[in-house]
Every structure is written in structure tokens, then in C-alpha cells.
């Protein structure tokens, strides 16, 4: 089940978060701000990197910064 439209819009307001990052969250089983708030950026980066079989999410400072911003927003929103 994907993020509800309201939460998707909130996430898209975060610098560095676009539709593909939200899609990646959903592909690893994160479907709400509540669920996102319970993760750490390192865990998400590891899960996505493993799913994609690439290290770019684990090694990219930009991706971790965006993931952290999304988690921070989720924690403040819930």
C-alpha cells in the first residue's frame, strides 16, 4: 500500500525528496510517515542498496541527507 496522497505531498516538500525516493521507501515496505519515523537513515540506505544491488544509496551523502530530512519530517509530523 503506497503513502496516502497527503503524506506524499508533505514528503515532496522536503529538499532532495522526489517521487523515486518515495517509491524506494514503498518498495522496502515503508508506507506511512509513522513507519518512516521509526527508521534510521543508515537502515533505509542499506535496505535500498540491497534491493537495487548497488552501493550508491549507502555511499551517497546526498541520499543520506535526503533520507534524514524525510525521517526528521516524519518524526515531527506524527
Using CA atoms, how far apart are residues 71 and 13, in angstroms rounded to an integer?
A: 13
Nearest residue to 60 via CA among 73, 44, 72: 44
Other beta carbons less than 10 A from residue 48's beta carbon: 20
Q: Are 4 and 27 in contact (CB under 8 A)?
A: no
What is the tens place of the pLDDT at every residue in 26-43? Answer: 999 999 999 999 999 999
DSSP state of 59: H
pLDDT at site 56: 87
Q: Are 24 and 54 in contact (CB under 8 A)?
A: no
pTM of the model: 0.94
Which residues fall within 8 angstroms of residue 49, CB to CB, at 6 or more apart? 55, 56, 57, 58
pLDDT at site 78: 87
Amino acid at each position: 500500500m503506497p503513502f496516502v496522497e497527503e503524506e506524499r505531498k508533505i514528503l515532496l516538500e522536503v529538499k532532495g525528496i522526489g517521487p523515486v525516493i518515495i517509491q524506494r521507501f514503498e518498495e522496502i515496505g515503508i508506507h506511512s510517515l509513522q513507519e518512516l519515523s521509526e527508521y534510521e537513515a543508515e537502515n533505509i540506505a542499506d535496505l535500498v542498496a540491497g534491493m537495487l544491488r548497488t552501493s550508491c544509496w549507502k555511499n551517497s551523502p546526498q541520499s543520506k541527507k535526503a533520507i534524514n530530512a524525510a525521517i526528521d519530517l516524519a518524526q515531527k509530523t506524527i
